[in-house]
Amino acid sequence: MKLTQAVALLSAAAQGTLAWGSLGHVTTAYLASHFVSNTTEAFFQDLLRNDTADYLANIATWADTIRYTRWGHFTGIFHFIDAKDDPPSYCGVELDRDCKEEGCVVTALANYTQRALDPELSAWERNQAARFVVHFIGDIHQPLHDEDVSRGGNGIHVLWEGKEFNLHHVWDSSIAEKLIGGARRRPYDNAKRWADGLAEEIKTGKFADEKAEWLKTVDFNDVVGTALSWAREGNAYVCTHVLPDGPHEIVGQELGGAYYEKAAPVIELQVARAGYRMAAWLDLIADEFEANKVQQGGWQELYNHWRQRPRSSRGAMGSSTKEAWLGHVSMALAEIKLTAVPAETS
């Protein structure tokens, strides 16, 4: 696991290129680990080959690392969806209009969720899919990953405490770092501390009364629709908080004062939502995979049960093997209980 952590830390050094920065991504992962069921924790620790409490945090920035490699370059467009709206007059995300033909964060989350569930794929392929799922849930909650204007704010130059940055970087990293008083060089320690605090706010603090509302859009039977609802939610903040006066007026402005005071609560809320929803999504993946495995194992058990019966009792004389097997199914289902073990609740 030292190699995995080293890769994550290396990715943090690329200023302005990481969605949410390392701090945001690692925080959402740590936060999710507070709320997943025990079954889910065991499932993903096994899949990710990491039995420590950092099993999600250690892979949270992997997708940003590989997007700049030759073999992973194609995944770059999966980190965002380019909403072609007109902030602050109008904000909105339309899948057909805004998602590129090659894909976007909405369709990528759906695709890699399905791959994480696919029993035909190797464990390593499902491991990779899980890494993408963890990362893209973080990405989709960052408002400027749901916006097209100036490449999601990358082309808008502003000031942050006297230094020049692009607006995307400010929303990825600067606001969050100031919010928790942390430094970029210690993303894991700061992320864990932030996640611990947010977990308490979700359990019994200021987010306790709204956390159930956050999960109302979660529909595992409509993964694209779920992801699209999250993208639209994030995109709405572009009009109200990211570019409240428009993209031209913000150029060259100092954002470390009054702008920060309005933006920081949005960052905190979106990180909290991302981590809590990530836990629910990972629970669904683990439950679905295990349920399918139990069902497949159940049919194998049923077939073995039939094969062990005396040949004379497998079916009526003259019946084909297929007819005899189907006849046995209707009788033996009452003898063998084929139900999935329900997930533990947190």
pLDDT tens-digit profile of 193-238? 999 999 999 999 999 999 999 999 999 999 999 999 999 999 999 9
- Looking at residue 21, its pLDDT comes to 76
The reported pTM is: 0.82
The answer on pLDDT for 7 being more than 70 is no
Domains and CATH numbers, the chain: 2-286 (1.10.575.10)
Q: Known catalytic residue: 169? A: no
Instruction: Name the catalytic one among 54, 67, 98, 273.
Output: 67
- Looking at residue 293, its pLDDT comes to 78
Distances (CA, A) of 53 to 33, 44, 126: 8, 11, 20
Burial string for 174-209 (b: 16+ CB within 10 Å, else e) reads bbbbbbbebeeeebbebbbbbbebbbeebeeeebee
Q: What is the mean pLDDT of the chain?
A: 86
- Measured between alpha carbons, how far is 309 from 51 in angstroms, rounded to an integer? 43
- Looking at residue 292, its pLDDT comes to 85
Q: Known catalytic residue: 148? A: no
Instruction: Name the catalytic one among 139, 146, 148, 287.
Output: 139
Q: Known catalytic residue: 172? A: yes
Q: What is the pLDDT of residues 146-188, one digit of tens each?
A: 999 999 999 999 999 999 999 999 999 999 999 998 666 677 9
Instruction: Name the catalytic one among 54, 98, 146, 172.
Output: 172
Q: Known catalytic residue: 79? A: yes
The answer on pLDDT for 48 being more than 70 is yes
The answer on pLDDT for 338 being more than 60 is no
- Measured between alpha carbons, how far is 112 from 240 in angstroms, rounded to an integer? 31
Q: What is the pLDDT of residues 12-26, one digit of tens each?
A: 333 334 456 799 999
Q: Known catalytic residue: 67? A: yes
Q: What is the pLDDT of residues 293-304, one digit of tens each?
A: 766 655 555 556
Across 300-312, average pLDDT = 57
Torsions phi, psi of 209, nearest 5? -80, -15
Only one residue has tokens 């963890």, namely 134
Q: What is the pLDDT of residues 232-259, one digit of tens each?
A: 999 999 999 999 999 999 999 999 999 9
The answer on pLDDT for 268 being more than 50 is yes
Residue 72's SS3 state is coil
1-10, 112-121, 228-237, 303-312: segment of lowest average pLDDT? 1-10
Q: Known catalytic residue: 241? A: no
Q: Known catalytic residue: 118? A: no
